[in-house]
Amino acid sequence: MKSKILVTGGAGYIGSHTAVALATAGYEPVLVDNFVNSSKSVLEGLKQILQAEPTFYEADCTDKQQMEAIFKKEGNIRGVIHFAAYKAVGESVAEPIKYYQNNLGSLLVLLELMEQYGVAELVFSSSCTVYGQPDELPVTEQSPTKPANSPYGRTKQMCEDILRDAVASGRKLKTVALRYFNPVGAHPSGLIGELPNGVPNNLIPFVTQTAAGLREKITVFGDDYNTSDGTCIRDYIHVLDLADAHIKTFEYLRDRSENSFYDVVNVGTGQGNSVLEVIQTFEEVSGKPLNYQLGPRRPGDVEQVWADVAKANNVLNWKTQHSLKDALKDAWRWQQNLVKTE
């Protein structure tokens, strides 16, 4: 019998790609989503890729009654990957209580039900935002976490603290917080990808939407940073590599003999690219010139950050397989598919 893995936020960007990776690796993903940050069209894309209807529940992870019904019905859930969270930095500043209620509340409900139903393995979706602007680069898991620039970032730090404290209390919980850097790209089929609601917060959807003629231009926020070309530097990881890291993390948890265990692991490429480098690489792979302008710095933006991935390589036995060019080609294919279907 295939091991069932509950995937919260399973219709979201990273969740949907991880669902494909889980199914390919022989697990049975059980998806939960309330479509606040996602679209029902993703389920159709998953069905085409998997050649089967994914197991799916429309539910809110902060609703214990709804979530308990899923645990009861599925019966033998082996582990949980918790993606479901509000994630817009600007919105979190404007509506902090909403972010604390959702992002902390959903984790607390899951931990309660996992203990009740004897589910011990959890992979938590954390973020490199916990590091703030690092003192040294690349960032290692030992780098100090800085006061977060937003309530969103604080919720990720607090969730890590909750997991650390839960394990320290001796409860039966094996968990790893994966600190993601900047996920980009899409499934090579072009059937699922990043699908922002309204104006994108992330660079790549803005790039592809501008190339597709849906947006007039891109504003590059800040050209006077202390970097090679004056623009911010980030570590852009293909979402397929990120999805694969979750499979490797479950294998790692399965092989640990302890009943109670907590760890954090960076998931990135180990190198940084500037905003202008991303724009120029996209123009190269797509053959589409982009209309962009240089603008003032955006409040809260970190100047540069990229990951030290030695721990992921050595402990999880995981390495990236896809380049920035691959990611941008896949993102462009996804965007062209979207334009055709709209």
In the 8-state DSSP scheme, what is residue 218? E
Enter the DSSP assignment of 130: G
Taking only Cα atoms into account, the Rg of the chain, rounded to an integer number of angstroms, comes to: 19
Task: Give me the amino acid identity at 241.
Answer: D
311, 266 Cβ separation under 8 angstroms: yes
Which of 152, 180, 252, 262 is an active site residue? 152
Torsion angle (degrees, nearest 10) of CA 93, 307, 333, 205: 20
Tokens of 61: 């992870």
Q: Is residue 225 flagged as an active site residue?
A: no
State the amino acid at position 172 in one-letter form. K
Give the integer Cα–Cα distance in Å for 326 and 21: 18
Q: How do 233-234 and 28-33 pair as beta strands? A: unpaired
88, HSE (Cβ side, Cα atoms, 13 Å): 13
Amino acid at site 77:
I
- Helices 13-24 and 239-255: crossing angle, nearest 10°? 60
Nearest to 192 by CA among 44, 9, 329, 82: 44
Active site residues: 152
